[in-house]
Amino acid sequence: MKSVKKITQLLIIILLTSFTNACTNNLDDTLTSVLEQKDKESLLFMLEEEKLARDTYTYLDNLWSVNQFANIKKSEQSHMDAISTLLTKSNVEHTILPSGIFENQELQKLYNQFVIDGATSLLKALQIGATIEDLDIVDLEKYKNETTNSAIIAVYNSLQCGSRNHLRSFVKAITANSGTYTPQYLTQVDYNAIVSGSQEQCK
């Protein structure tokens, strides 16, 4: 009888071990495939677009030393960190290239032009800042509407909130320097609603 009990216990242990391994493997599969391909692509693109903001503001801060660039470049780094965290948790490989270098060639062209134009005057540099935030808000809205992933939507909402605040800050500085800004990507209605609004508390 003791032998039968030992064999039964051994079989139970083997079955439980097999079940646990199967569940773990399934969980690993779920974690690695939690993001759809379009979500991975949007996160990787937005990571570089936030890098475009950070790198451009870092360059312009070195030229002009104004609070907008000094403060907002730090915020852009936190935006990059938020996206990078999502990618890491979803086991998506990603590399952040050195400052001023971008895998996406459209973003590379924008950066190259921004650093040239931004060196001409402080007003032009501030207008470039507004342009970047303008673009960022529109792209975040586009990708937010194309996903059903709640984690991505939450991060994009937070980043949009920050970008609206940044846009208000740049427009205020542009006005203080006797300049104007015309939205390049936002509709005029959406732009007016943002710049006439109050500074937001972003999560």
The values of phi and psi at residue 92, to 5°, are -100, 120
- Residues 60 and 159 reside in one and the same domain: yes
Sign, CA dihedral 19-24-27-33, equals negative
Range of the domain at 158: 36-195
- Residues 180 and 90 reside in one and the same domain: yes
pLDDT bracket for residue 83 (50, 70, 90): very high
Does 203 fall in a domain?
no
- Residues 127 and 169 reside in one and the same domain: yes
Q: Where residue 168 sits, what CATH number does that domain have?
A: 1.20.1260.10
Cβ-in-10-Å burial (0-12, 13-18, 19+) of 62 comes to exposed
| Interval 90-139: pLDDT, tens | 999 999 999 999 999 999 999 999 999 999 999 999 999 999 999 999 99
Does 202 fall in a domain?
no
Q: How many domains does the chain have?
A: 2
**pTM, entire model:** 0.83
- Residues 123 and 188 reside in one and the same domain: yes
Q: What is the mean pLDDT of the chain?
A: 87
- Residues 73 and 104 reside in one and the same domain: yes
- Residues 76 and 97 reside in one and the same domain: yes
Name residue, tokens 């390049």.
184
Name residue, tokens 């998506």.
92
- Residues 48 and 28 reside in one and the same domain: no
- Residues 6 and 79 reside in one and the same domain: no
- Residues 114 and 61 reside in one and the same domain: yes
Structure tokens at 16: 């439980």
- Residues 18 and 80 reside in one and the same domain: no
- Residues 74 and 120 reside in one and the same domain: yes
